Amino acid sequence: MKLKSQINDIIKDAFDKAGIKHEPMSVSEATKPEFGDYQFNGAMALSKKLGKNPREIAQNILDALDLTGVLAKAEIAGPGFINLWLNPLWIATQSQSALDDARLGVGVRENPIKVVVDYSGPNMAKQMHVGHLRSTIIGDTLANLLTFLGDEVIRQNHIGDWGTQFGMLIAYLEMKDEDGSLSLKDLEQFYKDAKAQFDANADFADKAREYVVKIQSGDSHCLKLWQRFIDISLGHCEEVYKKLGVNLTRDDVRAESFYNARLPKVIDALDAKGMLAQSDGAQCVFLEGEEIPVIVQKGDGGYLYATTDLAALWYRAEVLGAKRISYVVDARQSEHFKQVFKVAKEAGFVAEDVTLEHIAFGTMMDKGGKPFKTRDGGTVKLIDLLDEAVVKARATIHDKEAYSQEEIDELAKIIGIGAVKYADLAINRESNYIFNWDKMLSFEGNTSLYMQYAYARIQSIFRKHNAPIEGDIIIGDVLEHRLATMLLRFEDVLERAAVDASPHQITTYLYDLVTLFMRFYEQNPILKEGVELETKMSRLHLADLTAKTIKQGLDILGIKVVDKL
């Protein structure tokens, strides 16, 4: 349910009734329980416009306010705030219907749009490393979130599979892979070995250069080698996706090479628009107000990263029909995206009304605040990191007797992978992110384990209760009131997180929800003797809706829950 807009509508009605001709600003969630559930702060801003005292305006609004349905109480506070309390009866019926709904009361968009989410995008010449982790996790969450809200999401994995380094790599593959059984377990090492060969062996270097030209001109032998190399590399990435529980498949791959045939058309179209200028033999687009041009074709005819992205933008807008195109890529590429977005709009590759956004994120750092590296200074391979997470997660399972070996394996995976993902999603994505095993695998604080633990704890209440939950939700005290209100905010939170492409708004909400639930549970016993049946049932319902909301929230983040922990 869109809770906030319901309250805004009531305020708007009050404006009309009070004869105030201005658009009311939106209410906000109250920051303290004594301020009610929501607060309206618009009277202060209006006072200048209307030439009236803000408290007087607040009083006019309050007098016209409908307190018979959604709202039960309103009070003027301070210089002219209006504190608003939801009606407990209304909260009760609304949370009951959320509980009866498989979507927990979250609506499906009436006007869904097509959204392309470009994420992960590893380079095939090298092993996937931690730098790709954030793009993969944040991008997958955004895609899940928009899908849940009802948009038509097209996931695009813009893998780097083209460029001069592939000449060297496939020449080396041909040399090493005589019987076609090379598994390329370590791409990083393979790259190093190929490079060493390239530097030391002039014949090999010639061949590598020859192969660059040959793949580009479509030589079938070289293309076959290249295809084999890409298949193996992509296979490694897919292993990581599987471990991570990320929803990317081969069908989502639109590699850089996919756009090759479109690159000359990009140049022609820019030329036809009069947007091209020569600079040092290269074809460039100069943008207004910017000194450095976007180079789209080198002097030797070669194309660049930007050219491919222009072709991709064109394809996504024209062929895929996207109305929002979101690039989940490292913040260091922000200049690149700013430029290609401008060029694409100016050239008409993308219509004006299409939203283009760079969902930038910061760098992953180690505890000491340095870019994340292995002990010997190399890049940390993603697969090793994930395996380590599972090993560490196993150590957090205290009551090992309670599970079979298989259950422990499964549990360790769910906890470990969940911890890595959650820790990444829980910070403002634009900040750099400090990777800290101890913090992410803690049962306390804003961690996935804290959420998973709360979920399992609620399931254990149900196991103990071991009977159907009947009756209705009744809002009997302040904590029940606050918990139910928090649960009804779920859709508002998801909507906001979708607009801002900001998963941490979901984690913050889940953390607040679970913290509130823990307090509620401490003070409002459920199964204890002496609790009246009606109250007990109502509290079981609230616990149920809490657990379902945690599960749905974590599901959007790509994190699983367990019934027992």
* Residue appearing with tokens 């809002």: 475
HEC secondary structure over 277-331: EEECCEEEECCCCCCCCEEEECCCCCECHHHHHHHHHHHHHHCCCCCEEEEEEEH
**What is the distance, to the nearest Å, from the Cα of residue 186 to the centroid of all Cα atoms in its chain?**
29
List of residues contacting ligand ARG (CB under 6 A): 118, 121, 123, 158, 160, 309, 312, 327, 329
CB of 158 or CB of 207, closer to ligand ARG: 158
In angstroms, what is the minimal distance from the CB of 360 to ligand ARG?
12
Q: State residue 306 phi and psi, 5-degree precision.
A: -65, -40
Give one word for 369, left, alpha or beta, with left for phi > 0 and alpha for psi -120 to 50.
left
Chain position whose Cβ is nearest to ligand ARG: 121
What separation, in Å, do the N-terminal and C-terminal C-alpha atoms of the chain show? 31
In angstroms, what is the minimal distance from the CB of 399 to ligand ARG?
42
Residue 523 contacts residue 542 (beta carbons within 8 Å): no
CB of 160 or CB of 503, closer to ligand ARG: 160
Q: Which helix (H) or strand (E) holds 187?
A: helix 187-200
CB of 38 or CB of 162, closer to ligand ARG: 162
Beta-strand relationship, 28-29 and 152-156: unpaired
In angstroms, what is the minimal distance from the CB of 372 to ligand ARG?
16
In angstroms, what is the minimal distance from the CB of 409 to ligand ARG?
32
CB of 171 or CB of 311, closer to ligand ARG: 311
Q: In angstroms, rounded to a whole number, what is the distance separating the alpha carbons of residues 188 and 172?
A: 13
| Tokens representing residue 517 in the block | 């639930």
In angstroms, what is the minimal distance from the CB of 135 to ligand ARG?
7
User: Alpha carbon of 327 to those of 13, 101, 228, 340: distances in Å?
Assistant: 40, 33, 28, 12
Residue 60 contacts residue 44 (beta carbons within 8 Å): no
Residue 314's CB: how many other CB atoms inside 10 A? 20
Q: Across the strands, what pairs with 376?
A: none
Residue 293 contacts residue 285 (beta carbons within 8 Å): yes
In angstroms, what is the minimal distance from the CB of 122 to ligand ARG?
6
In angstroms, what is the minimal distance from the CB of 332 to ligand ARG?
9
CB of 312 or CB of 425, closer to ligand ARG: 312
CB of 148 or CB of 327, closer to ligand ARG: 327
**What is the distance, to the nearest Å, from the Cα of residue 439 to the centroid of all Cα atoms in its chain?**
21
Buried b or exposed e, range 101-121, using 16+ CB within 10 angstroms: eeebbbeeeeeebbbbbbbbb
CB of 209 or CB of 323, closer to ligand ARG: 323
- DSSP labels, 491-547: HHHHHHHHHHT-THHHHHHHHHHHHHHHHHHHHS-SSSTT--HHHHHHHHHHHHHHH
In angstroms, what is the minimal distance from the CB of 131 to ligand ARG?
7
In angstroms, what is the minimal distance from the CB of 436 to ligand ARG?
25
CB of 3 or CB of 240, closer to ligand ARG: 240
In angstroms, what is the minimal distance from the CB of 166 to ligand ARG?
14
In angstroms, what is the minimal distance from the CB of 529 to ligand ARG?
60
CB of 83 or CB of 297, closer to ligand ARG: 297
Q: Which long-range contacts (CB under 8 A, 24 or more apart) does 43-52 make?
A: 43/80, 43/81, 43/82, 44/79, 44/80, 46/20, 46/22, 47/80, 49/22, 50/20, 50/22
CB of 105 or CB of 160, closer to ligand ARG: 160
CB of 363 or CB of 396, closer to ligand ARG: 363
